[in-house]
Structure 1
Amino acid sequence: MRLQEIFGLVRDYFYVALIAVLVLAAVFGLLYYAGRKTVLKGKEPIPKKRLIAIAAFIGYMIMVAGVTFLNRGPGYQGGVDLSLFSTYREAWYLFSVRHWQFIYLNILMLVPFGVLLPLLHPRFRKAAWTIGLAALLTLSIETIQLMTGYGNFVADDLFNNLMGAIIGYGLTMGVISLKEKGFRRSLPYFTPLLLVAVLSGSLFGYYEAKEFGNLSIVPAHRADLKEARVMADLSFSDRSKTIPVYRAPVYTKKQADGFARRFFGRLGGNPADIEDLSYPDEALYRLHGETAYQLSVRFRDGSYELTDFSQLDDGKEPEDTDEETLRESLARFGLDIPRDAAFQRAGPGKYEWTVKQLESGNRLTDGTLTAVYYNDGTVKQVDNRLVTYEKVKEVRVKSEQEAYEDLLKGKFLTFSDERTIGALEVRDVRMSYSLDSKGYYQPVYAFRCEMDGEDKTLLVPAI
């Protein structure tokens, strides 16, 4: 979900909350006016500041309910993740805007809760009351999401929500204390916010200072091999070696925009007809005209995917063809596929070229290109993950034996919710590559295995 969409969601529920608060205020006003001489006689009216705080709190709670439940239908598998900081580890290894976004939005979600409670009643100026109620609220949200299928129960969400409430409480009490007791005695209240800011700045600063990026193949949870039967009928070298590191043609948003204009220009498109729907990690463009297209460009390696929507027209169907005809049809997209690429049919009208680590000087070409040919003689779907990388430097990597020891420790991604493994047979190991979060093509060890009866290739970082 793009940040713009999240802001749009919050805006929509803000209007819902505003209407609800105005209706409740009108009802309360009528009841108050009707009972002020009978039920409330002799009692002081509620202060205006508290009324405003109550209205803001009610509106805020409506927004929380909308964002956490009403914006999505049921359908989750009801997963439970009690591993603290697992979402932080996942966000670190993937290092995508989307993953960090959800962590910080979970923190931000309960900041208003901590801000408003001390304004509602003096009792909530005691930390135990506000933090305790915040813990009860976030526990209720996670439990209801789990029971109703509207989400998962995640320990990190509890932690992040509670941290947000503590930050909000500190902000309110810090401002109150600043007026009553001065700067020095109010400073501790701002500590949670300062701590999050310092830790976040240090984390992202360290990431920027690192030479290479993070690898998504590193798991947030290690696989459990304690009870597994592990077999390996091959010997692993204990000698380290030097391997090249390459870099992908990383795109900025501006470069992706230029690529899209040039790409659509080959198809006769007008730049004024291009609609930009970009996300943080990829650029998404739609060309409106006689024929509509959608182009998504991945920033990390410049790969892209094209859809020609004329495939939906009556009579348009995938059709088989030969390689040369397909190459000629792809030429209009500016594609020049290496002659050494392995070519195969993947379905009706669907074909795939594969290049496996083809070295040419200081360059390495790797990946696949998939195209779907139609009965009008054109290609209407292209998924170009065929990338040419430039050599950056050579680095010393760990030995096969060291990589195998990491494998035995469960340091590999299984792409499965089940992390307990019963049997693992290692059949082969070779050097491969994996793209990191900064666009570097890092060497990794690829272990070809049979895991619980299924053929798997398990990747372990080599650096």
Structure 2
Amino acid sequence: MRISAIIRIAKEYLLLGAVGMILLSIMLSIGYFVIYKKILKGKKTIRVRQAVLYSFLLIYIIIVFGATVGIRMPSNSSANMHLFSSYIEAWNSFSKVEWRNIILNILMFVPLGFMLPIIFRRCRKWYVTYFIGFLSTVVIEIIQLITGRGIFELDDIFNNALGCMIGYGIVMIFILFLKYKKEQSNLIGKKKILKNKALAICSMQIPLCITIIVFSSIFISYSKQELGNLSVACSYSQNMSNTNISTKIKFKDSRNRAYVYKAVVGTKEDTLKIANKILSAVNDKVDESLNDVYDETIIYKSGDEKHSVWVRYTGLTVRYNEFTQFASSGLGGLKYDEIKQILESFPITLPEKADFSDKGSGRYEISVNMANMGDSILNGKLTCNINANKGVSSFDNEIVSYSKYKEYEIISEQEAYNKLLEGKFNAYSLSNKIEIKDIKLTYKVDSKGFYQPVYEFILQDENMGSIFIPAL
């Protein structure tokens, strides 16, 4: 989820929280001033500061429930009981989105840890606030599980509870300092109390310090490693006790060597040049005021918004749309050479031979599998829509050019199969019967734009897809 979307959701539920606070304030005012004061003749008074703090807490609770439960559509209930699996997935893909979601889950409960000790004196004891923070996130996860509005995840409980601990540690710096100012007046007493308070404050910052150290270590370690990480790598081991694996293949037991290839990872300036090249082919140009920037892609548009160009940083691949042509009829029956010639104006270079298919209604698909182009290789797929005037209505070019980077030793087919038997692979759903039809060495793009070798186990049941094991 993008930051702008998170801010938009927060604003929506901030308004809802404010409305809820006003309605509750009216009800409490009637209860306090009319029933308690007038009818029951009560003597206790409500302090303005206390009422304001309760109001902020109410708004916060509404925002949190809105963001975790309210925005989601009901679906099948599910649970992820693998602690730290989201961290491993974020490490494997090293996606900004994944890391941002983890950090936001931590930050979401920092205000709770901050407000509880201010509003409730009992919550100034660390174990009280820690317990309330833990209980609150467990309640949210159970509601998500029951309603199907989200997944019950141990990682969410850990992250939210950690955020509450961090918030508690921060606010207690101010609370203990103010308390110290009001205490002992003699110099000796001050020094002793100050020392005790300093030790207490330092101990309360342990969750924050550990969090900073861990995240810093993760990002520094990643920046120093040579290759990127593979999203197909195992996040947690599958339970294979009820799964029967069979195959007629005899796997090779000897290790081999394979090249790792490198794709271009472009800058924002590179993507802009490509977008302008694409639009110049249709006598148009980019209006940068309409740019929409994502983590992995930038969307460029022409001033009249008739054209859009999506340029991905990795591989500098392009998706193009001409919106005025969407309703026009497509031109079928074209040959591969004709499609090549039409696309050259954008410019898109294709190999002499590729897997080509006419999908009908002017839609064509071109697949390239490790095609040699001099010192580089092409791999990927391009789809395009050709209108009746032999113009391009749209195309999505995911064919990437890779250059040889370095040769590495890879594990044997048998070693990869052993990992499969141990459940060390990713699977959204696991059947009780897996029949392996074939194995081949293929490639996947890693998080730094390298093209790494992976073993693909092709299954008899095509609906189950393939199982991938990293080969390095």
Instruction: Give the structure-1-normalised TM-score.
Output: 0.90
Corresponding position of 1:166: 165
1:221 and 2:230 matched: no
In structure 2, C-alpha distance between the alignment counterparts of 1:138 and 1:60, rounded to whole Å: 14
Residue 201 (structure 1) aligned with residue 225 (structure 2): no
Equivalence for 2:432: 421
| 1:435 equivalent in structure 2 | 445
Query: 1:299-318 maps to which residues of 2 (within 5 A)?
Result: 299-313=313-327, 315-317=328-330
Shift of 1:317: 4.2
- 1:24 is displaced (CA, Å) by 4.4
The structure-2 alpha-carbon separation of the partners of 1:322 and 1:186, relative to structure 1 and needing over 3 Å to count, comes to same
- State the one-letter code of the partner of 1:54: Y
How far apart, CA to CA, are the structure 2 residues paired with 1:48 and 1:447? 67
Report SS of the residue matched to 1:9. helix
For structure 1, the residue ranges without an aligned partner over 5 or more in a row are: none
**Aligned CA-pair RMSD:** 2.5
Please state how far the C-alpha of 1:200 moved relative to its aligned partner: 0.7
More displaced stretch, 243-252 vs 227-236: 227-236
Residues 106-121 of structure 1 aligned to structure 2 (within 5 Å): 106-121=105-120
Among all aligned residue pairs of Structure 1 and Structure 2, give the percentage whose two residues are the same amino acid.
30
Name 1:277's counterpart in structure 2. Answer: 292
Letter in 2 for 1:422: K
1:381 aligns with: 394
Corresponding residue for 2:385?
A: 372
Task: Judge which range, 231-240 or 155-164, deviates more.
Answer: 231-240
Once the two structures are TM-superposed, the CA of residue 448 in structure 1 deviates from its matched residue by 2.6
DSSP-derived class of the 1:198 partner: helix
- CA distance in 2 between partners of 1:454 and 1:9 (Å): 37
1:48 shift after superposition: 4.0
**Is the 1:341–1:355 Cα contact (8 Å) retained in structure 2?**
yes
Letter of the aligned partner of 2:337 in structure 1? E
Q: Choose the corresponding residue for 1:458, options 448, 467, 471.
A: 467
The DSSP-based 3-state class of the residue aligned with 2:379 is: strand
Bigger CA drift: 78-87 or 186-195?
Answer: 78-87
Q: CA 1:229–1:197 in 2, change beyond 3 Å: closer, same or farther?
A: same
CA–CA distance in structure 2, aligned partners of residues 26 and 229 of structure 1: 64
Question: SS of 1:271's equivalent?
Answer: coil
Matched residue type, 1:69: V
Measured after TM superposition, the shift of residue 343 of structure 1 is: 1.7
In structure 2, what is the Cα distance between the partners aligned to 1:249 and 1:398? 27
The alignment's TM-score, normalised by the length of structure 2, stands at 0.88
Change in 2 beyond 3 A, CA 1:230/1:62: closer
Contact kept, 8 Å, 2:235 with 2:425, in 1: the verdict is: no
Q: Check whether the contact 1:320–1:350 (CA below 8 A) recurs between aligned residues.
A: no
Letter in structure 1 aligned against 2:67? V
Q: Which moved further from structure 2: 222-231 or 29-38?
A: 29-38
Is the contact made by 1:230 and 1:423 (CA closer than 8 Å) also made in structure 2? yes
Query: For each residue in 1:234-268, what CA deviation from the matched residue of structure 2 results, as whole angstroms up to 9, or x when unmatched?
Result: 33333222221111111223322332233223222
Residue 191 of structure 2: aligned partner: none
The SS at the match of 2:99 is: helix
Shift of 1:384: 0.6
Matched, 1:16 2:35: no
Which residue in 2 is equivalent to 1:294?
A: 308
Give the conservation status (yes or no) of the 8 Å contact 2:287–2:300: no
Q: How many pairs were matched up? A: 455
- Offset at 1:201? 0.6
Residues 297-356 of structure 1: per-residue CA shift (max 9 Å, x gap): 22222222222212333x534544233332232222111211122222233322122221
Q: Which residue of 1 aligns with 2:61?
A: 61
Provide the rounded CA distance (Å) in 2 between the counterparts of 1:434 and 1:224. Answer: 25
Structure 2 vs 1, CA of residues 75 and 267 (structure 1 numbering), >3 Å: closer, same or farther? farther
Please state how far the C-alpha of 1:28 moved relative to its aligned partner.
4.8
Question: 1:141 Cα deviation (Å)?
Answer: 1.6
The separation in 2 between residues aligned to 1:40 and 1:129, in whole angstroms, is: 35
Q: Which has the higher mean CA deviation after the structures are superposed, 383-392 or 27-36?
A: 27-36
The 8 Å contact of residues 245 and 440 in structure 1, kept in 2 or not, is answered as yes
Q: CA deviation at 1:413?
A: 2.9
CA 1:15 to 1:439, structure 2 compared with 1: closer, same or farther past 3 Å? same
> How far does residue 214 in structure 1 lie from its aligned partner after superposition?
0.7
Distance 1:397 1:58 in 2: 57
C-alpha contact 1:175 1:186 (8 A) present in aligned 2? no
Q: How does 1:202-351 map to 2 (within 5 A)?
A: 202-272=217-287, 275-289=290-304, 292-313=306-327, 315-317=328-330, 319-351=332-364
Q: Kindly tell me: are residues 228 and 148 of structure 1, through their superposed partners in 2, closer, same or farther at Cα, counting changes over 3 Å?
A: closer
Relative to structure 1, the CA distance from residue 392 to residue 178 in structure 2 (aligned partners, 3 Å threshold; closer, same or farther) is farther
Matched, 1:394 2:394: no
Deviates more, 1:161-170 or 1:257-266: 257-266
Q: Which shows bigger deviation, 129-138 or 332-341? A: 129-138
CA deviations 1:178-200 (Å, max 9, x no partner) are 44244333111111111111111
Q: Which amino acid aligns with 2:252?
A: S
Structure 2: gaps of 5 or more residues: 181-193
